[in-house]
Amino acid sequence: MSQIALPLDWPDSGRDSAFIVDESNAEAVKHLDHWSLWPVRTSLLTGPRKSGRSTLGRIFARKSGGQVIDDADLSEEETLFHAWNAAQADQRPLLIIADEPPPRWEIGLPDLRTRIAASPKIRIAEPTDALIANRLHQHFAERGLAVPENAVEYLLKRMDRSHYALLQIIETLDRKAFERRGRITRDMARDAMCELGFIDA
């Protein structure tokens, strides 16, 4: 279950160290690491919720000194328009984060639509098996718990490949491990999947 080494020690130390880089997000990380090469000083990052896109935005802001607008598809279009223009004028990078790129993100303001169209677009994909396994091991290692490989294999064969499903599984296993005051087992993984409705009881 390898992770991808990146320049500049991504991610930074602290609470964002939970961000794991693999095939699902490596292209986005590489793009943000080379912001000085962007054709314009703004890029659009999209991807599923719970994929770590906000965490990646915080890391980017610290390392580049740039600005991040999260949930941009819920923001005022005039605000985004002026932020895009300011980024070019100040030569300060701007990262816009949204669920989807246009045209699925419907932009009513023509001038903003033109500027977003001219901006590079990068996306975080749904998690790979390697990322799921690494997230499970990392999360529970921080709690002094080991996740046996047979439990990981059980989950990988049956769970939805989504960041949201992975978060649900982690939270449910967390609670069950606390309630039972014991180690994580394959049977506990099965119980979590049943409770979440991912498999039949």
Single-letter code of the amino acid located at 148: P
Same topology, domains 7-123 and 129-195? Answer is no
pLDDT band at residue 44 under the 50/70/90 scheme: very high
pLDDT surpassing 70 at residue 17 = no
pLDDT band at residue 15 under the 50/70/90 scheme: low
pLDDT surpassing 90 at residue 14 = no
pLDDT surpassing 60 at residue 127 = yes
Distance linking the first and last C-alpha atoms of the chain:
30
Q: What is the pLDDT of residues 130-147, one digit of tens each?
A: 999 999 999 999 889 999
One of 3.30.950.10, 3.40.605.10, 3.40.50.300, 3.10.129.10 is the CATH number of 7-123, namely 3.40.50.300
Q: Tokens 């396994």 label which residue?
A: 133
User: 71 in the Ramachandran plot: left (φ > 0), alpha (ψ -120 to 50) or beta?
Assistant: left
Q: With 0-12 CB in 10 A as exposed, 13-18 as middle and 19+ as buried, what is 95? A: buried
- Domain residue extents for the chain: 7-123, 129-195
Q: What is the pLDDT of residues 57-116, one digit of tens each?
A: 999 999 999 999 999 999 999 999 999 999 999 999 999 999 999 999 999 999 999 999
Q: What is the pLDDT of residues 162-173, one digit of tens each?
A: 999 999 999 999
pLDDT band at residue 6 under the 50/70/90 scheme: very low
Query: Which overall architecture, per CATH, does domain 129-195 show?
Result: Orthogonal Bundle (1.10)
Mean pLDDT of 112-131: 97
SS3 call for 176 = helix
Confidence (pTM): 0.87
User: Cα angle at 120 between 20 and 127, to 5 degrees?
Assistant: 25
pLDDT for res 1: 41
Q: How far is 163 from 166, CA to CA, in rounded Å?
A: 5
